Amino acid sequence: MGDMTAVVTGANRGIGRAVAAGLLAAGHDVVLVARDRAAGERAVAELGGGRLVVGDLSDLRGVRATAGALREACPRLDVLVHNAGVWPSRRVLNGDGLEQAFATNHLAPFVLNLELEPLLRASGTRVVQVSAGLYVKGRADPDRTPTGEDFHPMRTYADTKLCNVMMLPLWADRWRGTGVTIDAVHPGVVRTGLGDRTGVPGALLRAVKLLWKPPATGARPIVRLAVEDRGTGRYFHLDEQTSLAPPATDAALGRLLWDQALKYGSAT
């Protein structure tokens, strides 16, 4: 399966960079999506390969601009890895009036799928969503979570990851029979900059992270799904396929979140 074109979002550091490195080592054409041009160019140089698309996935305008840049850069798209994510310590609203974790962790991959859908269908793309086992701690409120009215410095990350993973079976159903497939994977507890804090809490977190596995280890199940294992609608904990657990099994809530994301995605 060499010579594939693979896009990895949030690829300038952490797990995303390690995924890009794994795909490059396998001989694929890798497009790194990064918000900061200098950081992206540095990652490409240090990896010794790949191409950069500068893209800001923190608001709807940025997602659409990123999609446009990817369509131009990738006449064919074999693999799309949704990796970009944030874990904010305080409530911040973007230019759309949306809380930043909701916008980046949930809405950005959803709208990017919508914007790229003709290309995905034409290419028979393999979509891999980097998830988090903490989704089981989430409580998605369609009225409050989008704007962070229920913001909590720890739980909001889980809330938005729950919103995102609840889209998995709905995307799989939408794309069934088209050649486009989608799976989600929790790569385990990985030592990255995600969720870093300042002060005493930050120091304690950094100390704990020394016990966590490095990004290269966390990237392995993601790369495996991207290039070796073709299925759809599945959720993996590392390399083990598991069923989604409550609260992600609430089909009515999932459909409500889907319809809401569609409205955001179609807004101008």
Indicate the pTM of the whole model: 0.92
- Using a pLDDT cut of 90, give the percent of the chain over it: 84
**Phi, psi (5° rounding) for residue 109?**
-65, -35
Would you place residue 200 in the very low, low, confident or very high pLDDT band (cuts 50, 70, 90)? very low
As given in the structure block, the two tokens for residue 216 are 């290269």
Check residue 206 and give left, alpha or beta (phi > 0: left; psi -120 to 50: alpha).
alpha
Confidence check: pLDDT of 206 > 50: no
Would you place residue 40 in the very low, low, confident or very high pLDDT band (cuts 50, 70, 90)? very high
Note if 157 is an active site residue: yes
Give the chain's count of helices (H) and strands (E): 10, 8
Q: Please write the tens of the pLDDT for every residue from 212-257.
A: 477 788 999 999 999 988 899 999 999 999 999 999 999 999 999 9
Instruction: Please identify which of the residues 135, 157, 235, 264 carries the catalytic annotation.
Output: 157
Q: Please write the tens of the pLDDT for every residue from 54-95.
A: 999 999 999 999 999 999 999 999 999 999 999 998 999 999
Q: What is the pLDDT of residue 208?
A: 45
Q: What is the pLDDT of residue 220?
A: 94
Q: Indicate the DSSP class of residue 214.
A: P
